[in-house]
């Protein structure tokens, strides 16, 4: 790649807010795009450009045929096989949460009752 490419550090220091990994990736791709265009203006073949920059020939071809830098776009959400079942799953999950809470409350009440019985028994022995 080009010598002026930036790479996200894997160290402990976080990236500044203006340099997210996506932005670094975009600037790296843009630097590659510029390098392809520059080498092509120097009459270097596409195959040689691909070799020098370690890019696929298809990427070199795409960069050269594009009038401007080809931005990446996120594909639209096509849905999940679970989408029709999400309301049912959510309803069941929430009911299980309610049941778990009920069981916890019962267990706490039983523990409190057990402690009260123990204290009564101790008081009776002391009398």
User: pLDDT for 87-102, tens place per residue?
Assistant: 998 888 888 877 877 8
Same-domain pairing of 87 and 121: yes
Neighbours of 5 (CB within 10 A): 14
Q: Tell me: pLDDT of 49 over 90.
A: yes
φ, ψ of residue 52 in degrees (nearest 5)? -65, -40
Last residue of a domain, one of 28, 51, 73: 73
pLDDT of residue 1: 44
Same-domain pairing of 67 and 118: no
Q: Tell me: pLDDT of 105 over 80.
A: yes
Residue 78 lies in a domain: no
Average pLDDT, the chain: 85
| Number of independent structural domains in the chain | 2
pLDDT of residue 8: 53
Q: What percent of the chain clears pLDDT 70, i.e. is strictly above it? A: 87
Same-domain pairing of 94 and 47: no
Same-domain pairing of 69 and 102: no
pLDDT of residue 35: 95
Instruction: Report residue 69 as tokens.
Output: 């830098």
Same-domain pairing of 66 and 87: no
Q: Tell me: pLDDT of 37 over 70.
A: yes
Residue 10 lies in a domain: yes
SS3 34: helix
pLDDT of residue 9: 53
**Helix residue spans in 54-85 (DSSP H):** 57-65
Residue 61 lies in a domain: yes
Same-domain pairing of 7 and 42: yes
Q: Tell me: pLDDT of 107 over 60.
A: yes
For the segment 16-28, the average pLDDT, to the nearest whole number, is: 84
Supply the range of the domain harboring residue 49.
1-73
């Amino acid at each position: 790649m080009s010598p002026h490419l930036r790479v996200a550090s894997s160290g402990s220091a976080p990236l500044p807010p203006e340099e997210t990994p996506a932005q670094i990736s975009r600037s790296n791709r843009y630097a590659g795009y510029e390098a392809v265009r520059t080498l092509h203006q120097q009459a270097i073949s596409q195959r040689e450009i691909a070799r020098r920059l370690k890019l696929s020939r298809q990427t070199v071809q795409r960069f050269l045929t594009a009038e401007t830098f080809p931005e990446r776009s996120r594909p639209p959400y096509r849905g999940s096989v679970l989408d029709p079942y999400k309301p049912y799953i959510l309803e069941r999950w929430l009911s299980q949460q309610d049941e778990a809470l009920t069981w916890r409350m019962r267990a706490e009440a039983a523990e409190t009752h057990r402690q009260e019985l123990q204290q009564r028994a101790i008081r009776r022995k002391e009398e």
